[in-house]
């Protein structure tokens, strides 16, 4: 069955109310400025081929059968209901979604449930696959990804490693909600596979709640010059039993680079946890063997045991570090910098066992950041407003250059959320 309809562009702001999903005021501008195509047209490509919509269960009784009969470019659209399926291999460039893809109705996401029964749901082996608009429950690595994909607007509940980039994948993961994962909400190893070194990845606007291990776990492995770039931004990660975001060094430099910014990391054992020796069990000891560049700015770290543990090249700027029970930053090593952060009511001490060569300047101590208790947005009289730095220059080199779209005043605010009048 082929359906051809005129393309209609809808603002994401008209699809999902940002404060209902993320409780981050600065996400509203992002949503309003992003145009998302949720309808199709017969002129999507230069060959004027129609996109084919395959419907489940009206055309094929199962998702697996639909995938088997799909061709590159097809959309599989699943009607509301509960499906019990697993072990489906996707080796063609297709989209698998709910009726949300056609209508923009967010209710369709919650109404379209796939129970993977403690197995993998999709083994994704073709670049360009999109998985969107689904509720996926009870899976074991339900999305097993080894290619470049887009994973967005899904709801994951009670899975083990809900989104797994443990192979040589990459691409995009955004606007997902991940609850009660039995291990890590998102596994972002991007391990080298043969000649495939993996690709860069953006992880943004996800909400990861109550993971049994880490919210996001990244094993660096031991492939020199893999040079993957990770952009982890505007996520809310709360209630992880170990790290909100954990980076695990195998004590060999990989060239991987991390931009971790505008995230709320709260109620975890540690907000950002750096580990060494391939150790994944969070010990709050930091990673003196980790030389990868970590650009860690404009995050809010609250109510963890430790705000962050460091490596050798962690550049921390414009963060709000507050109410962490055992302390703020721990074991940042030789080449790291801690500049223009606000520390407030961290138990023990704000700095624990920092190396002597860590650059440490222009930080604020003991001043209440005056943030909203629910959204972490600055209140009208907050000292965070316009107190951030736009750049970080060290030894004549620009280390951090904050994109202008990420702040609304003359200067960035401190923390993850910008003040909004």
pLDDT tens for residues 223-274? Answer: 998 999 999 999 999 999 999 999 999 999 999 999 999 999 999 999 999 9
Distance of CA 65 to the CA centre of its chain: 31
Average pLDDT of every residue of the chain:
90
Torsion on CA atoms 217, 223, 229, 234, rounded to nearest 10: 0
Q: What is the mean predicted confidence (pLDDT) over 406-419?
A: 95
Q: Which pLDDT belongs to residue 51?
A: 85
Q: Is residue 132 packed enough to be buried (19+ CB in 10 Å), middle (13-18) or exposed (0-12)?
A: buried
Q: Which pLDDT belongs to residue 49?
A: 56
**% of the chain surpassing 70 pLDDT:** 88
Q: Which pLDDT belongs to residue 14?
A: 35
Element (H, E) at 29: helix 27-33
- Residue with the bigger pLDDT between 390 and 194: it is 390
Distance (Å, whole) CA 35 – CA 37: 7
Rounded to the nearest 5°, which phi and psi values hold at 22? -120, -20
Q: Which pLDDT belongs to residue 5?
A: 37
Q: Which pLDDT belongs to residue 11?
A: 35
Q: What is the mean predicted confidence (pLDDT) over 40-59?
A: 66
Q: Which pLDDT belongs to residue 19?
A: 35
The model's confidence at residue 397, banded by pLDDT at 50, 70 and 90, is: very high
Q: Which pLDDT belongs to residue 421?
A: 76
What is the b/e burial string over 361-391, where b = at least 16 CB atoms within 10 angstroms of the residue's CB? eebbeeeebebeeebbbbeeebbbbbbbbbe
Q: What is the pLDDT of residues 272-325, one digit of tens each?
A: 999 999 999 999 999 999 999 999 999 999 999 999 999 999 999 999 999 999
Q: What is the pLDDT of residues 102-148, one digit of tens each?
A: 999 999 999 999 999 999 999 999 999 999 999 999 999 999 999 99
pTM for the whole structure: 0.91
- 182: left (phi > 0), else alpha (psi -120 to 50), else beta? alpha
Tokens of 383: 């000292």
Q: Is residue 29 packed enough to be buried (19+ CB in 10 Å), middle (13-18) or exposed (0-12)?
A: middle
Judge whether residue 84 has pLDDT over 80: yes
Distance (Å, whole) CA 188 – CA 166: 6
Bridge-partner residues for 164, per DSSP? 144, 187
CA angle 133, 136, 140 (to 5 degrees): 140
Element (H, E) at 306: strand 306-309
Q: What is the mean predicted confidence (pLDDT) over 370-388?
A: 97
């Amino acid at each position: 069955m082929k359906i051809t309809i005129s393309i209609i562009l809808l603002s994401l702001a008209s699809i999902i109310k940002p404060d209902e999903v993320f409780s981050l005021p600065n996400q509203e501008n992002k949503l309003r400025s992003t145009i998302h195509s949720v309808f199709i047209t017969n002129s999507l490509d230069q060959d004027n081929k129609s996109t084919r919509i395959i419907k489940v269960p009206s055309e094929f009784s199962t998702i697996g059968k639909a995938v088997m009969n799909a061709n590159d470019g097809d959309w599989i659209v699943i009607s509301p209901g509960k499906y019990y399926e697993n072990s489906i291999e996707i080796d063609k460039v297709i989209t698998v979604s709910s009726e949300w893809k056609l209508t923009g109705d967010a209710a369709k996401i919650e109404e379209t449930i796939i129970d993977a029964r403690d197995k993998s749901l999709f083994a994704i082996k073709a670049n360009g696959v999109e998985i969107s608009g689904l509720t996926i429950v009870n899976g074991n690595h339900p999305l097993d990804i080894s290619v470049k994909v887009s994973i967005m607007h899904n709801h994951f509940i009670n899975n083990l490693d809900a989104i797994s980039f443990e192979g040589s994948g990459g691409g995009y993961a955004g606007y997902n909600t991940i609850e009660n994962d039995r291990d890590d909400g998102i596994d972002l190893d991007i391990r080298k596979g043969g000649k495939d070194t993996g690709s860069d990845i953006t992880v943004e606007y996800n909400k990861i709640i109550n993971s049994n291990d880490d919210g996001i776990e990244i094993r660096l492995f031991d492939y020199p010059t893999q040079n993957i770039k990770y952009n982890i931004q505007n996520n809310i990660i709360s209630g992880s039993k170990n790290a909100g975001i954990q980076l695990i060094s195998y004590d060999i430099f990989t060239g991987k680079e991390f931009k971790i910014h505008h995230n709320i990391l709260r109620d975890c054992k540690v907000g950002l946890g750096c580990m060494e020796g391939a150790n994944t069990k969070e010990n709050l000891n930091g990673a003196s063997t980790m030389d990868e560049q970590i650009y860690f700015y404009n995050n809010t770290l609250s109510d963890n045991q430790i705000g962050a543990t460091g490596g050798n090249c962690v550049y921390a700027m414009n963060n709000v570090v507050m109410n962490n029970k055992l302390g703020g930053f721990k074991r940042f090593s030789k080449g790291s910098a801690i500049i223009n952060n606000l520390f407030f009511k961290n138990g023990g001490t704000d700095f624990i066992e920092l190396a002597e060569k860590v650059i440490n300047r222009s930080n604020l101590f003991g001043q209440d950041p005056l943030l909203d208790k629910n959204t972490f947005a600055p209140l009208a009289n907050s000292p965070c407003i316009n107190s951030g730095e736009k750049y970080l220059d060290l030894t004549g080199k620009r280390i951090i250059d904050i994109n202008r779209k990420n702040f609304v005043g003359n200067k960035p605010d401190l923390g993850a959320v910008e003040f909004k009048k």
